[in-house]
Amino acid sequence: MTEKSRSEKLKRLVAVQRHLERIAENELADTTRQRTEVGESMDRVIDALASIDPVHAVFSKHYAERFGRLTHKDKQLEGIQTLIEMKVLQERTKADRLEEHMKDAREAEMREADDNAVYDIIDQRFADVTPASSKVQKP
């Protein structure tokens, strides 16, 4: 089994880090969706509280309690959303840095391969110029 080069290892790490970034983005989308649903529920409760329908007047205390719970849940989701946004940025930054390191490693490996190819050409050239018989000839 051949050992993988540094750039290949970093490429794999970049892929894993990008996957973690996508997971965090999905969590953020889910939290945003939940906040939207809570906001819509709050709007419905406010509409019911503001309604002049006598049926809603009977339940006004329950609506007020429900609105309080929804407000609390929205604040919790806002905090969670802020944390997840920071996590997304952190994961993206990590992935970007790893990608830069991978590109640098790939360039270094290409330079090394080019240098080795030049050295091989020089070695072949000098091997052709200096035959082995020249060492045994006496002047």
> For residue range 72-101, what is the model confidence (pLDDT) as tens digits?
999 999 999 999 999 999 999 999 999 999
Is the entire prediction scored with pTM above 0.75? no
Residue 136, pLDDT > 70, answer no
Residues in the chain: 139
Q: How far is C-alpha 12 from the chain's CA centre?
A: 13
Q: Rounded to whole angstroms, how far apart are CA atoms 82 and 125?
A: 65
Residues 22-35 have pLDDT tens digits of: 999 999 999 999 99
Q: Mean per-residue pLDDT for 17-25?
A: 96
Contact 48, 56 (CB under 8 A): yes
pLDDT of amino acid 1: 47
Domains of the chain: 6-129 (1.20.120)
- pLDDT > 70 in the chain, percent: 90
